[in-house]
Structure 1
Amino acid sequence: MMLRLEKSTLGNFGAHDMMDLVRSRGWEAVLPDALDDKQLLLVSDQFRDLLSGVAWSGDQDPARAALPLTLLLLAKAGGKGSDDSFEVGMDTLQAALCLLNTAVDREIVNRMLHRSDPLPLPLGKDLLQTLVLLVRDAKENAESACST
C-alpha cells in the first residue's frame, strides 16, 4: 500500500499567503517546522518543480511561494542587498533551494512518522544557521575572486 494524497484538496500556498504569514507572525512563520501540513506539502511540491526545471505556466508564477520563501530566508541569512534590491548568485540560490527542499521533505517525514529530529537545535534554527554559512561562503568566494 502506498501513501496517497489528492493534491487538489490542499488548496494553494502562494507568495501572498507567505507574506500574510510573515506580516502576522514574523519571518520565522515560513520555516518548514512552522508551516502547517497543507502549506508544507504544497511548498514541497513547488520546490520539486523548481529543482526539476518544470516549466511554469504564466498564471502560476506569482502565486507560488517556494522561490520567494528561499529569497526571504537568504536575505535573513545575510544575503547581499539594500532596502531596494537583493543580490544572490545562481549557485548560492541553487544550493539554498536544495537545502530547503531537503529540510521541507525531512519535516514532512518527521510529521508522518511522529518523530522529532535529534538535532541540538529545532529544524528551522538549524536551517537558518546553515543558510548563514552558505551566504558567508558565497561572499568569501566572491571577495577572493575579486582580489585575484
Structure 2
Amino acid sequence: MSLLKDMSVKLQIALPVIFIAILLCIALFMGRSNLIESVDKMNATTSQVAEAKDSTAMLISSIYAMRVSAIYAIYDKKSLPRLSKSLDSSELTNQAAILQLQKIPEINKELELFRTAMLAYINFSRDTVLDIFGEKTCWQYRRFRVSTVHC
C-alpha cells in the first residue's frame, strides 16, 4: 500500500489505464486472425448465396411452370400435347440449376431429395396424366358422359 501513497494521483489513474490498453492491444492482436478468418468465410458465404439465389429462383420458376402445365393438361385437351414438352424442358432446366447448386456441399443431401421428388413428379405426370387423359381414354369418358372432361 505504501507504493500507492508515494505515487501521484495522475500516475495512480494512468497506470491502470495503460495496463488495460496494453491488454486490449494484445487481445486485438490475438483475435485479429480469427476476425479476418470470419470475414473471409462471411464473404465466401455471401458469394455462394448470391449465386444460389439465381439457381434457386430458376428451380422454383421451372417447377411452378411444370405444375401449371400439368393442371392445364388435365382440364384442357389442347394443352395435353404441350405437357410432355413442358416436362422435358423443365427437367433440363432443373438439372442445370441443380448442377449449379451442387457447388455448395452443405446442401447436396437436400438437392438429391429434390431431384428424387422432381423425377417422381415428372414420371407420375408422364405415366398417369398423359395416359389417363390421352387419346386412348378420351372415348371412355365420353361413353360414361363425364361432363367435367372436355375431349
Same fold (TM over 0.5): no
TM-score (norm 2): 0.31
TM-score (norm 1): 0.31
